[in-house]
Structure 1
Amino acid sequence: MMGAKLRLLAWFVSLATLLSACAPAVRLDEAATERPVQTSSAPPAARDDIPAPHRTQSPTPAPRPKAFALNLYQEGDFVPQYTFEWCVAASIQIMHNLIDDKGAGMWADRVQQGELWEMARARSSNSFNGANPLGWAKVLNEVGMGSYAVVSIADYEEALQTAARAIADTDRPVGLVMWRGRHVWVMSGFASLGDPDQFPEFSVTGIRVQDPLYPYGDERWGPSPAPNTLLTPKQLATQFVVREPRRWSSDLPAGYMLVLPLAKA
């Protein structure tokens, strides 16, 4: 009997131990108040204080100058000088023909050339009693081809740029004072690296010329180029040189002399 009681007591002890091992580690009141951790797959909200990533843009490359050309000359515009003194008058006729695009008629008459020379000579003053660049410019203005002005530029490349830019701006030719002031040509166009309207520092690579003395030329200065010849700057420089100051009275400094068309205001 005593052994049966001991076995029953041992069974109750084992049962109590088993129940305590299966009980939760937290109290029921604590479990009731504990909140589960929430998780979400949504991205975090943007913050205003975080700067946006900086994007760099490659600079647009500057345009490169390309070959450019402008020529006012058309077949028949050239007129020869009818005497060895009438180069200014013949150049006035050539310039008229280059400018006239309305079919008003070519200027090529010998009598007219003599009259134009007398006009230019009357508006000039120098010790040689001929027609000089000042008289040339005045006649161009009076007969309706102006405005023209005589300019002297010390630097050769700058003189070519100035002449080319004037042609591009006005669609009118430029007068070139040649042989230190003893002769004149007409510049009717040019070739360049870069359009003068787009590239202020364009370079002149060719000059279109009309020498009214063609085909005679000069023993000292060389042959006359054929009408509408494209000369390189080096070729032109053999005859287009700095004006000799004593050739005729003028307040202009020594330099490369141009009878330059001016843009109309």
Structure 2
Amino acid sequence: MNISLCTISFRHELLCFSDIIRFAELNGINGIELWGVHAKNLYSKLESTIKLLKQMGKCNINITMISEYLDFNENIDILISKCKEIVNYSKFFGTNKIRIFFGNSQSEGIKQIEWINAIEKLKKIVELFSKKGIYVLIETHPNTYADTLISTKRMCEEVQNEYLKVNLDYLHLWETGVFPVEAYYQLQPWIANYHLKNILAIEYSNVFEPANIYSPNGTRLGMTSLRNGAIQYEEVIRLMLNNENNSYIGIEWFGDDPINYLIEEKKWISALKPLVRV
């Protein structure tokens, strides 16, 4: 199984991209997930970024995915225009995976017409990316239409396109009462990437609200390592390690001191042995 870091972990750190590449190389991390705003910034500096990508290639490090955002309340023409821009980023960085969120509100209580309209937009988005050989990964996340196991499976089954995949964020489904192993098996046909993070107890789950995460003054209380939190990760990680596809385990750390945190998490995951069901 491949392991990636997320550049969003360094959103409040004074590190340049070459430092992040060097850090990944030194610690055996073979993937970098680019936050959309970072991708846009690097893309605007083509000459220097090309040199950095060559450096990554020499280190056998890949851009695993670009984490982007689309507003499903927008007109489809505006969405398609944005998608074409993202295609350019994807091709430039050599990745065939784009992460987005599906919808702008929770799935519970959604009107049928709203669901149908969102699905039709998603079908068109996936079709556009599929023609370029790019997979669209929908992240399981609160306040989106993919906020539960049921709604996520429904989405996948209704779109029916092999280029629609899932970025499985275990914590956010755990918040709804779904344990990691169940999520792993139920969504297995569609999973193309994983996000792993942990908290001390469910009452701290609000710490991951976007406004708090993006703020340099936001609280980090309750964030903790994968092995020490309320979510029991060892069994599902061992199952994932036995999976021979090209999915990446994305260590998604939003707290302080990302350098030391990522070093320790990489060591812990690497020490686990694959779990084979008999």
Fold match by TM threshold 0.5: no
* TM-score where L is the length of structure 2: 0.25
Could you say which structure has the larger radius of gyration? Answer: 1
Higher helix share: 2
- TM-score relative to the length of structure 1: 0.26
